[in-house]
Amino acid sequence: MTSVNKISLLSGALCLTAIFAFFNSLRMEALCLFPIALLFIYLAIFETEKFFLSIAFLTPLSVNIEEYTDSLGLFLPTEPLLFGLMILFLFIQIKSPFLDLRIWRSPIIICVLAYIIWLIFTSITSTDPLISFKSVLAKLWFIIPLLIFGTHFFRKHENRVVFLWLFIVSCCLVVCFTLVHHSIYGFGEEEGHWVMWPFFKDHTIYGATVALCIPISLALLKQKGSPPLSKAILILLNLILIVGLIFSYTRAAWLSVLFASIIGLLVYFKVNFKFLIGLGLAFALVIYAQWDNIQIALGENKHEHTTEAFEEKIQSAANVTTDASNLERINRWDCAIQMFIKEPITGFGPGTYAFEYAPFQDPENQTIISTNFGDMGNAHSEYLGALSETGLLGLLLFLSIVASIFICAIRLYHQTPEKESDTKLLIMGIIISLSSYFIHAFLNNYLDTDKAAVPVWAMCSMIIAMSLPLTNDQSIKQG
């Protein structure tokens, strides 16, 4: 037996021990899943590439067992599998390095590593270090196997395509389930908030994930190398995704697709970004000059998202007077800012917002859906969440990650030769898809869930892999 196989079996044994301990903490009925865990471990060791790609299919179908255990928040089966892959890859990399060393020069990797170091430091200074270190660990089992080790698997164009195909198909299965379930209730607005359960917690993360799928699905559809059957299937999948997005009743997802498409057009037509920055500053000055009039207009907006009419749903997105959803979001944002003011340097610690924001609620900002216990979740913004939990430097590091992603992706798109049209189309799809998420991230934060973290970090890994000069693909030797 080779040393790599010995390491693989050792890491598998460690994962097996962890899984057994996990099952032992649950009811005895959960032990029926033990044979499935053994199967996953076998596949991870002896069919590593296929197993890695299968994560894409499993992610939209995963279920958070928090509601069944009353305490343990864990997405099954993806998070235990990603944790196992992280251990496996680390062991193999230490013994028989297989990663291309050039990835460590990628701005994306550099910014992510700097952010992780800051997360670890702010976990030490956290108001609850245990929660913070758990939060950092959860981020690591997404980032290490997907972003870092994913660069090895995504060197192959077919692996990139297969991964995205699997994620889209699985997401469409969930959309079909949701639409059938939703139809029982006549596609009602209120029911549309929860009919995607148990695969998605609510319509907001569901809408964000569906919105993220559409650009890459369209990019795959337009690839010249696709056979007619694949194109026919992709047409069907795109129709399913569009219908799913419409009936998600998620205004933020609708708007994110619109603005992401505009970004795609700007990239395609090579619009000078210095001009865009100047235009943005001019727009900001106009808003500042007209702020009083804007406030009056917003105050007169009484549209609420209780109607199913599309145009009124969009209008309700700007209702900050009576719309409880919008007002609660403002309440969370204000809490995040107040938390930052109190702890501007290190913040309260990663993952602590949900446990700390309650005392910072201004009674004037509270709504009918607010609670005095502050048990309603996160900051509803990736950016303000980072600000409140990790301070100003944490926010700047997170913004550096976002900036590096788009700088690298846009540069890659323009440097890719026209003759590689399929690759160029895929890069554009990734740019628009990631744009939709990071635009949506102003209003919600989901990178702590597998539904968003898996596709986002995987697509970032694809950008890094495609940025490397073409060389012969390496492989993890199993024997």
CA Rg value for the chain: 23
Q: Among residues of the chain, what percentage have pLDDT more than 90?
A: 58
- Supply the pLDDT for residue 54: 92
| Bigger pLDDT: 398 vs 295 | 398
Segment 415-458, tens digit of pLDDT: 999 888 899 999 999 999 999 999 999 989 999 999 999 999 99
Taking residues 111-124, report their average pLDDT: 98
Would you state the pLDDT for residue 366?
Answer: 76
Q: What does the pLDDT read at residue 336?
A: 94
Give a yes or no: residue 209 inside a domain.
no
Tens digit of pLDDT for each residue in 332-388?
Answer: 999 999 999 999 999 999 999 999 998 998 888 777 777 766 566 788 899 999 999
136 occurs within a structural domain:
no
Query: Residue 323: pLDDT band by 50, 70, 90 thresholds?
Result: low
Residue 153 lies in a domain: no
pLDDT digits 0-9 by tens, 201-212: 999 999 999 999
In the prediction, which pLDDT does 477 show?
40
Domain containing residue 81: 1-98
On the question of pLDDT at 154 being above 80, the answer is yes
Does residue 107 form part of some domain? no
Query: How many domains, the chain?
Result: 1
Structural domain includes residue 191:
no
Task: Note whether residue 193 is domain-resident.
Answer: no
- When the pLDDT of each residue in the chain is averaged and rounded to a whole number, the result is 84
Residue 61 lies in a domain: yes
Render pLDDT for 276-305 as a digit per residue (tens, 0 to 9): 677 767 776 876 676 556 555 545 545 555
pTM of structure: 0.87
State yes or no: pLDDT of 324 exceeds 90.
no
Tokens matching residue 161 = 């395509």
Residue 347's contacts (CB-CB under 8 Å, 6 or more residues apart) are 122, 339, 340, 387, 388, 389, 390, 391, 394
Decide: residue 14, CB within 10 A, 0-12 exposed, 13-18 middle, 19+ buried.
middle
Q: Is residue 234 part of a domain?
A: no
